[in-house]
Amino acid sequence: MTIKLKVALAALVVGVLVLVGCGGDGSDDSGGAAATNQIKKGTTVKLWIMPNGPDPQADMEKALQPFTEKTGIKVDVEVVDWGVQLDRIRNAAVSGEGPDVTQAGTTQVPFFAALGGFEDLSKRVGDVGGKGAYPEGVWNTTQVVGQDGTWAVPWFTEARVIYYRKDVLEKAGIDPATAFTDWDAFRSTLETIKQQVPGVSPFGSPGKKAFDLVHHVMPFVWDAGGAELSDDAKKSTINSTEAQEGVTFMADLIKDGLYDSSELERDGTQVENQFKGGKLATWMGGPWVLGSVKRADDENWVPAARKNVGVAPMPKGPTGEAFTFVGGSNLMMYKSSKHKNEAWELIKFLSQDQVQTDYASIQGMFPARVEPQQAYGESEGADFKAVFEGIQQGRTYAPVPQWAQIENAYKGRFGNILDSAAGKGESYSPETVQKELDEAAKEADGLLAQSAG
Amino acid sequence: MSTTTLPTLETEPVVAVKPRRRGRLRYSRNRLAYWLIAPAVAFMVLVHVVPMAGGVWLSFKNLNTFTFAQLWGAPGAGLANYKAILFDAGNPLRSGFLGAVQNTAVYTFWTVAGTLGGGLAVALLLNRPMRGQKVARTLMLTPWIVPSFVVAVLWQFMWQSDVGVINKFLVDWTGLLGERPVWLLGGNSLWAIIIPSIWRGLPFCMLIFLAGLQSLPRDLYEAAELDGAGPWQRFRYITLPLLRPLIAVQLLFGVIYATYQFAIPNVMLGTNPGPDADLMMTLIVRQSFSNNLFGFGAAASVLLMLAMLLWVAVWWRAFRRDLEVPV
């Protein structure tokens, strides 16, 4: 039985079993060696992307026209939905039946690299400037703990920042320049809005329905001196005193009526639309929302909110740091690609400063490379600059193959804590927070203990 | 050993046909039928039996992030996955299993009770001659034709505590409640998925019961009425016993369908609905596909399948007489 058939059968088996109750590569090309960079004109390279921006297929094809004209390499673009991309990329890596290049979420890279189906690009990345061409937090997303190699090339980037309504702050008599400088200022701003501006909730953020809940909580944990895993990435440290302090800061906002608890019932997009709809005075989000301000076809905006959007970097915590989560997408090359040189040409093209800037701006993201990132951040006004500053303070999770699972475990426990602060589930107390974080650490340690044996 | 004797004439000797020949005769007579069902049997084996056997096989494997690429060749785990789920309370990956079992039992009980009880009640109402009967029947069927995904999205909006129409009705318009309940978090969240599930399943039950009611002989009711039986007695002693086979079939499928329900809880509450509403299916999907613990998820699936086989056995003992067809 071929590996491909096995994979297809296994997928079928798992799928059916869930309903009823639940290799080798195609190439012997050595990893990463750009020994011969000969390119065959007329070759077709297959590229998987996710739904980036308003018209992902057309936007990508348009962006690639100059590449095909210059190199003679055709690119077959396929848009793979975020809901199925993990399964498809994984199955393609295991079966050897897939595209040449794929987009992957930054936090997914270690997992995909662990499957063994992707090319180590260490010997090629010098062509695009290597480590020095990218912010440190962004470059770290191409590495895997305990595994030599560079498994991806950063493509575009985002960082979470504070969005606020300028008109609401003005009504409350708050200076935006000092409103979000540190935790105390942030909290004081929300309290003042609550007292001075009725009819709008001071702050809102989604609960455990949001895929990115952990991205919103971890900055507070980092700011308090906590971390998701130990330095050697062998143990969870999410139940440390510092981590508890960070989580408690966020949950206390709910307990004290500063964080609209009804937002916990919604997912990320729904809460984003609450901000656009004028229901929230402040909210945490990525740069794509800033990009959507100018788009008249985004009808979720009410005029008052659209006209008064302001952006600030995340507040500093007790350690004096103001970390934020930095994410985005990277490009990975399949080991099974029969056209590695052409695929690398494509990655090189997509890593060019102007190409990155143009493509990132379509979708409201930021280029991954330092220089175009800075130029883009400084060219579009104060709000974009705030996002750029956020990226420089960006931090990402320990690049271990099990991160996606650990994030999932943390998400559930963070969600339970926020629910309890809203008076749902277990009663909210320091003991409840500690108990949930202990459980999260236990689950994470169980996942970290997974091995090939 | 018994032999079959073919019909004989008095003048002919008795001919005993051996079993092998009898089998050949039967095959020869039914050959066409066997060939006709062969594709369906092959399809069932391919689609049901092989994947199921494969899933059982995977449940004995240590299939995780690091071994996924090996698939069938992944290291064996023996009974470790089953032991971890059933007996190892300290195993962090077992977290929430017992809660999910309990929530699934509660969800299934109320969903099936609501669907069958409500379906029968509506069928009885719609079986009475009245104006607009056909329109009412058609309207009652509407939820059934709405896909589960859409049902879940609709109800998710309706349950929202601040702007949802349910709280608007209960608090703003009628004043029945003083405070706005939060439906999609905490203890209420299980009810927030039970009610849409009933709403979605009730019309089909109603349709089946209505068909059954319309086939009941009128003369039995007339005779009972002449003997002085009231409406309740006619329902208790005529309608209910005669509908028993239909109730039995709907109960069987209802319990299995509700236990395996995934779409509505997943769309409304996500793959991790929290301890108050985590069901077996959300737990299995989360462990298998979010946590890449395919061996663990397969073992949990097998246990759920065994639980359903047990249910079918219990059901068969309770209802088999109701399903016997008089020849």
pLDDT in the model for residue A182 = 97
Mutate to test the interface with A, among B156, B272, B294 (most CBs of A within 10 A): B272
Considering only CB atoms, which chain A residues are within 8 Å of B302? 17, 21-22
Q: Residue A17 to residues A13, B65, B233, B299: CA-CA distances in angstroms?
A: 6, 19, 46, 10
Read off the pLDDT band of B17 (50, 70, 90). Answer: low
pLDDT in the model for residue A27 = 38
Question: Taking a contact as any Cβ pair under 8 Å apart, which residues of chain B between 94 and 113 contact chain A?
Answer: 95
- Does pLDDT of B189 surpass 90? yes
Whether B261 contacts chain A with CB within 8 A: no
Considering only CB atoms, which chain A residues are within 8 Å of B186? 419, 423-425
Residues with Cβ within 8 Å of residue A425, at least 6 apart in sequence: A416, A419, B185, B186, B187, B274, B275, B276
pLDDT in the model for residue B16 = 59
- Does pLDDT of A4 surpass 50? no
Closest Cβ opposite residue B160 in set A20, A265, A412: A265
User: B8-35 as b/e, with b when 16 or more CB fall inside 10 Å?
Assistant: eeeeeeeeeeeeeeeeeeeeeeeeeeee
* Strands (DSSP E) found in A80-213: 101-105, 153-159, 161-165, 201-204
CB-CB under 8 Å, A411 with B69:
no
Whether B255 contacts chain A with CB within 8 A: no
Mean pLDDT, residues A415-424 taken together:
94
**Residues B159, B180: Cα–Cα separation, whole Å:** 11
ipTM of this complex prediction, to 2 decimal places: 0.73
pTM given for the model? 0.81
Q: Contact A286/A160 with Cβ under 8 angstroms?
A: yes
Q: Chain A residue with minimal CA distance to B182?
A: A262
Closest CA to A76 of A68, A85, A88: A68
**Residues B262, B62: Cα–Cα separation, whole Å:** 25
CB-CB under 8 Å, A450 with B182:
no
Considering only CB atoms, which chain B residues are within 8 Å of A261? 182
pLDDT in the model for residue A65 = 95
Closest Cβ opposite residue A446 in set B59, B93, B307: B93
- Does pLDDT of A32 surpass 80? no
Mutate to test the interface with A, among B91, B288, B291, B306 (most CBs of A within 10 A): B291
Residues with Cβ within 8 Å of residue A148, at least 6 apart in sequence: A120, A122
Question: Taking a contact as any Cβ pair under 8 Å apart, which residues of chain B between 229 and 248 contact chain A?
Answer: none
pLDDT in the model for residue A267 = 86
- Does pLDDT of B2 surpass 80? no
Closest Cβ opposite residue A415 in set B274, B293, B306: B274
pLDDT in tens, B125-138: 999 888 888 888 88
Residues with Cβ within 8 Å of residue B284, at least 6 apart in sequence: A18, A22, B297, B300, B301, B304
Read off the pLDDT band of A20 (50, 70, 90). Answer: very low
Cα-trace Rg, chain A: 23
pLDDT in tens, B37-90: 999 999 999 999 999 999 999 999 998 888 887 888 889 999 999 999 998 877
CB-CB under 8 Å, B297 with A18:
yes
Mutate to test the interface with A, among B48, B71, B97 (most CBs of A within 10 A): B71
pLDDT in the model for residue B295 = 92
Cα-trace Rg, chain B: 27
SS3 content of chain A, % helix, strand, coil (to 5): 50, 15, 35
Residue B96's region, left for phi above 0, alpha for psi from -120 to 50, else beta, is left
